[in-house]
Chain A
Amino acid sequence: MQMVGMGECKIFRGEGDHLVALGLGSCIGLCAFDPVNMVGGMVHVVLPESHGAQDFPGKYADSAVKFLIEKMSGLGADSKKINFAMAGGAQLFKGSDNGKMLNVGPRNAEAVLAMLASLRITPAAVDVGGVCGRTVTLTDNGDMRVKTLGKDDKVLINLKTCNILTMVQYKQTMDSSQLKRAA
């Protein structure tokens, strides 16, 4: 089992391993799985933009997606075969009228989606937003599990087959033109 901490990107190939990101608040856990070569990966995204910073590519949405794909390709994944899904981006704090405290989560979600769109990638499942923390697990058979505060651990989607096992409602919180611009 590998823990995926803030800004980290972890990968595995074959059987016997799984990846966990514990307690995602405004962060995003982006999971990826190549079912042909059995390579899995997860990156724990913290902020939308790197502004050119190169020290922690997994930390920023604008560098994390490519970083994840590169690392998985290094283990033999075929980038055209990879299935993606993401969870996180919640707004945990309520009551403050300081907008910045409240919108990092949704901004992270939109930034990851925009980056995927710019690479012509459509994620197979998106469980983002809301007001609750999540723990995300990716297993060696492609199950992406999401445990939300107050609820049981559930399989969101299997990234081998892309069968969606838990329906979630994704509410777009930013203007859709911003997503279109990136595509």
Chain B
Amino acid sequence: MSTYMKEIEVKPSHLEIMREIANIGAGNSVTSLATLTDQRIDMSVPEVGIVSLADFVATMGGAEEISVCIYMFVEGDAPGHIAFLTSQSGAMRMADRMLCREWGETEQLDELECSCIMELGNILSCSYLTAISDMTHLTLTATPPAFALDYAAAVLSSLQIYLESVDALNAEALTIQTELGGGKESITGFFIYVPAPGSMEIILKALNMEGD
């Protein structure tokens, strides 16, 4: 089945440059987080790929794995959709870091924890968008986030349906795996970026990669 990403032939060289941009974004995030929380949370981007949202359920640990999703619509020159996903335990460890608690201390995601995870997701997403904007000189702004904490299959299917209904997409996403922290205290999160039809070409062209 042909899909948007396959049609525009996103190549390994494109993914490599997205990964470089994502690393810059990660660097931006470290700076923002250090300012906000007064502590240094390292970040790295081990992998960038393309996956369909349906297949992503397995990456999240299975259909009934409880996961957190922070979704934002991206307006501007290359509109699209961005979401940050992590497991419930990943989210609890994020709350530990943001709230200066002991690693493993958070046992529940109540309003305080959810709001600071949302803030973290917001910072991370805006850092990536800034990195893309800086490299492409395109204007990209994220709208206020929506938050979900539920079974991975429920979250991803709801997201997939929403994307299909607004942009008639065959929900394929650019996924950016992100590691926060390091060593024993590391948290894995995923960014997924789903460009609206036409946006990926605009970004690649702005990076002088069209037809590359």
Chain A residues in the interface with B (C-beta under 8 A): 6, 22-27, 46-47, 90, 92-98, 100-101, 104-105, 132-135, 149
Contact = CB atoms under 8 A, between A and B. Distances in A.
B78 interface: no
Interface stretch (B18-26, B42-50, B63-71, B178-186): B63-71
Contact of A25 (B73, B146, B158): B158
B161 A92 contact: no
22 contacts: A6-B54, A23-B64, A23-B150, A23-B154, A23-B155, A25-B150, A93-B69, A93-B158, A95-B145, A96-B143, A96-B145, A96-B146, A97-B144, A98-B143, A101-B162, A104-B162, A104-B165, A133-B155, A134-B154, A135-B64, A149-B150, A149-B151
Given A26-B161, A149-B66, A101 B146 contact: yes
What class of interface size applies to chain B in its complex with A? 20 to 34
Contacts of A134: 154
B152 interface: yes
A100 to B, nearest CB: 6
B147 interface: yes
B144 A95 contact: yes
Given A23-B64, A46-B161, A98-B73, A133 B146 contact: no
Given A100-B165, A104-B162, A22 B146 contact: no
A100 B154 CA distance: 16
Interface centre among A24, A92, A100, A135 (most CB of B within 10 A): A92
B64 to A, nearest CB: 6
Contacts of B164: 47
Contacts of A46: 157, 161
A93 B73 CA distance: 13
Chain A interface SS verdict (over half): loop
B118 interface: yes
Contacts of B143: 96, 98
B98 to A, nearest CB: 18
B165 A105 contact: no
Contact of A135 (B57, B151, B159, B160): B151
Contacts of B126: none
Contacts of B157: 6, 23-27, 46
Interface string B134-153: 00000000011111101111
Contacts of B66: 149
B161 A133 contact: no
Nearest to B152: A23
Given A97-B144, A100-B165, A104-B165, A132 B150 contact: yes
B150 A95 contact: no
Contacts of A92: 148, 150, 154-155, 158
Interface centre among B54, B146, B157 (most CB of A within 10 A): B157
